[in-house]
Amino acid sequence: MKNSFFLFVLFAFAASCKNDDSGNSIDNANPSQFAYTIKHPFQWEWGNKNNIKMALDGLKAYEKGNVSAAFKDYADTVLLQMDGFEKRMSKDSLLSFFLRERSAIKRMGIEMNDYLTVRSKDGKSEYVSLWYKQLWEDQNGKIDSIECMDDLSFKNGKIILWNEKVRRYPGSAQ
């Protein structure tokens, strides 16, 4: 009797845990149900996790002050898009630019919130998105932070685009 009761409870628990999509009224095959339409809806699938590793390894190297290692997986030419700045740069120019930027920082920390990788279903586009908080102390002892959302585009295993969006906290330097 105890075994029967145990099996009944186990079955009832398992049945209550099933994923029920009956409340989902959106038809994935019909994007016209949305307030805005786009040319290529539902074009993304999960991407290559090696791209996440490259992106995170580069960010970690930059955090630690190793700028050369931070940009080792970048293509010979990279489009850099940041707050109020957009420029296509050679890898050497990119390194010089970030060597100057990083030299103004005494120490830095990254608090990673999340990341993901996607690829277009036609295989022509691959991205890694990173969400994190960047904290630093400059050479004069001033401490500051920003919330970042980076999109990195990959082609042939190299980073060809870095698009960064930031949220400054109240009181942060503009």
CA distance 65 to 102: 7
State mean pLDDT over 87-111: 97
| Under 8 Å between Cβ of 101 and 82 | no
What integer pLDDT is reported at residue 8 of this predicted model?
Answer: 45
The answer to whether residue 121 scores a pLDDT higher than 60 is yes
What's this model's pTM, rounded to 2 decimal places? 0.80
CA distance 62 to 60: 5
Q: What is the mean pLDDT of the chain?
A: 87
| Under 8 Å between Cβ of 77 and 92 | no
Q: 């700028």: which residue's tokens?
A: 67
Cα 170 from chain centroid (whole Å): 24
CA distance 21 to 79: 41
What integer pLDDT is reported at residue 138 of this predicted model?
Answer: 96
The answer to whether residue 9 scores a pLDDT higher than 60 is no
CA distance 122 to 17: 36
CA distance 130 to 1: 54
The answer to whether residue 7 scores a pLDDT higher than 60 is no
| Strand 105-120, strand 158-168: pairing | unpaired
What integer pLDDT is reported at residue 13 of this predicted model?
Answer: 46
**What is the strand order of the sheet 74-82 is part of?**
44-46, 105-120, 126-138, 143-155, 158-168, 74-82, 85-90
CATH numbers and ranges of domains, the chain: 44-168 (3.10.450.50)
Residue range 11-51, pLDDT digits in tens: 444 445 555 555 566 666 677 888 898 888 889 999 999 99
| Under 8 Å between Cβ of 137 and 105 | yes
The answer to whether residue 89 scores a pLDDT higher than 60 is yes
